[in-house]
Amino acid sequence: YGDGVVKEFRASDGFYCVSLLLKSGKVFATAYLQEDSMSYRLARGCQEGYPVLTKYGLSGVLQSVNPTTGVHNVIIPSCGAMCYLQPDQVVRQLKAAVGEDVSTKFGDGKVMKYRLSDDKYEIKLTWGGATLYAEAKTFDRIDDRMEYKGGFRMGWILNFFYSREENKEDGAPRSRSNSFSMLSQSNVSTRSLR
């Protein structure tokens, strides 16, 4: 049938009301389709898990796309919001979203703003509060999606478990189950683990 936008779902009979679109984006017909007759379209040039710019001027990370409706789930890190967008509401893929950490040749920083007019990123560097205006090719996104940012600030314990190899003095293996009791007997202070 071509591209379309899901307008509603009728739970009574399982049909989706879909506005079918011309290449120009104008609606030319309405179709009533069952789920197995539809597939989704990913926004042009975008990939799941990467930053995107929305038509509302917000940048975020495209988390996922609903396979039946094509709704794009975009997390906006600058305000902690989740947006549910149609493919035409996602303008383009970006190198980094506002609020994300990046690495430049001048050090690490955080993206404060993206300007579509000249494709520049405003990056506040972590040292001295300097501001860098950069093109995408001049920095790298620090992708920490796999990093746990839980509520108990227990990252030090992972450092304790996994950084002990180089600090072993006696060479005897020890189990992870006795790590807490070993902390009091160890020559490693908790201050050095932060």
Condensed to tens digits (0 to 9), the pLDDT of residues 149-163 reads: 444 444 545 555 555
Report in angstroms the alpha-carbon separations of 90 from 85, 100, 115, 153: 7, 18, 16, 35
> What's the pLDDT at 49?
87
Residue 47: both structure tokens together: 């990939």
> What's the pLDDT at 1?
65
Q: Is the pLDDT of residue 121 over 90?
A: yes
Q: Is the pTM of this model over 0.85?
A: no
**Greatest CA separation found in the chain?**
77
> What's the pLDDT at 95?
93
pLDDT in tens, 15-59: 888 888 887 778 888 888 887 777 666 777 788 889 999 999 999
Comparing 59-63, 116-120, 152-156, 176-180, the range with the smallest average pLDDT is 176-180
> What's the pLDDT at 125?
93
Of 96, 50, 80, 62, give the one whose Cα is nearest residue 149. 80
> What's the pLDDT at 39?
65
Of 33, 45, 44, 26, give the one whose Cα is nearest residue 1. 33
Q: Is the pLDDT of residue 106 over 80?
A: yes
DSSP letter for each residue of the chain: ---EEEEEEETTTTEEEEEEE-TTS-EEEEEEEEGGG----PPTT--TTSEEEETTS-EEEEEEE-TTT--EEEEETTTTEEEEE-GGGEEEE-SS-TT-EEEETTEEEEEEEEETTTTEEEEEESSTT-EEEE-GGGEEE---TTS---TT--HHHHHHHHS-GGG-SS-----GGGHHHHHHHSS--GGGG-
pLDDT averaged over every residue in the chain: 76
Contact in structure between 70 and 76 (CB atoms under 8 Å): no
Q: Is the pLDDT of residue 107 over 80?
A: yes
Distance of CA 61 to the CA centre of its chain: 4
Report in angstroms the alpha-carbon separations of 14 from 7, 8, 36: 14, 11, 11
> What's the pLDDT at 34?
80
C-alpha to C-alpha distance for 170 and 184, rounded to whole angstroms = 16
Q: Is the pLDDT of residue 181 over 50?
A: no
> What's the pLDDT at 131?
93
